[in-house]
């Protein structure tokens, strides 16, 4: 039986440290429905077309946590890069939302955005004016407002939190960047 409970009459790749390419095709035994597991990113790919030299593969992913920033310092205005779940520089992704929770205290003064480059550069995924006042307790949850440019862009960089105004006292919060990986090719 194959990876998806089907009889394996053709090739599956149960583990490789790379994504499939256009050359991972029928000449190598792959057919429509073949699966490929990329161990670098933890992504399973499915073959949509096995045409020789022109294979098409799609990731089996939906909306998921792509990067986190646990214990973000809400009392500094310096850059704080997210920690990616995957090598985001090697993938393309779209941001659907950023959730913030687990505030260590009532965030009454902190504001600021999330960017695609250091020093509030690149694309503003979340605008500089984003406030965090809804985070009054550790169990409160805030869905940040994704900026127009942030929702209309595809990224392949590690996002960066850069506050415009600090809390004024020691405070932390946890950020979760959620989105979709964009198929290659």
pLDDT tens for each residue of the chain, 185 residues long: 344 444 445 578 888 888 899 999 999 999 988 888 888 777 888 888 999 999 988 777 778 888 999 999 999 999 999 998 866 666 788 999 999 999 999 999 999 999 999 999 999 999 999 999 999 999 999 999 999 999 999 998 999 999 999 999 999 999 999 998 876 55
- The CATH number of the domain covering residues in 64-182: 2.60.120.1110
Pairing between strand 160-165 and 80-81? antiparallel
Q: Where are the alpha helices (DSSP H) in 4-161?
A: 148-151
Q: Quick check: 77 and 53 in contact, CB under 8 A?
A: no
What is the model's pLDDT at position 8? Answer: 46
Euclidean distance between CA atoms 22 and 33, whole angstroms: 15
Closest CA to 159 of 103, 97, 83: 83
Helix, strand, or coil here: 148?
A: helix
Gap between the Cα atoms of 76 and 62, Å rounded: 34
pLDDT value at residue 53: 94
- Bridge partners (DSSP) of residue 49 are 56
What distance in Å separates the CA atoms of residue 92 and residue 157, rounded to the nearest whole number?
Answer: 8
pLDDT of residue 137: 96
Give the pLDDT score at 176.
96
Question: What is the model's pLDDT at position 51?
Answer: 94
Measured CA to CA, the distance from residue 85 to residue 98 in angstroms comes to 14
C-alpha span between 62 and 111 (Å, rounded): 30
């Amino acid at each position: 039986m194959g990876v998806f409970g089907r009889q394996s009459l053709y090739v599956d790749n149960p583990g490789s440290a790379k994504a499939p390419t256009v050359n991972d095709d029928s000449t190598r035994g792959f057919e429509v429905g073949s699966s490929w597991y990329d161990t670098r990113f933890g992504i399973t790919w499915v073959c949509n077309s096995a045409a020789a030299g022109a294979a098409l593969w799609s990731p089996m992913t939906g909306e998921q946590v792509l990067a986190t920033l646990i214990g973000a310092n809400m009392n500094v205005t310096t850059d704080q890069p997210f920690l990616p779940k995957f090598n985001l520089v090697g993938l393309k992704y779209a941001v659907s939302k950023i959730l913030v929770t687990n505030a260590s205290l009532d965030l009454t003064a902190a504001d600021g955005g999330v960017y695609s480059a250091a020093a509030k550069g690149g694309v503003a995924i979340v605008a500089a004016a984003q406030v965090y006042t809804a985070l009054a307790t550790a169990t409160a949850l805030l869905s940040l407002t994704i900026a127009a440019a942030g929702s209309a862009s595809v990224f392949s960089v590690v996002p960066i939190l850069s506050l415009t105004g600090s809390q004024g006292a020691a405070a932390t919060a946890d950020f979760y960047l959620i989105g979709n990986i964009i198929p290659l090719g």
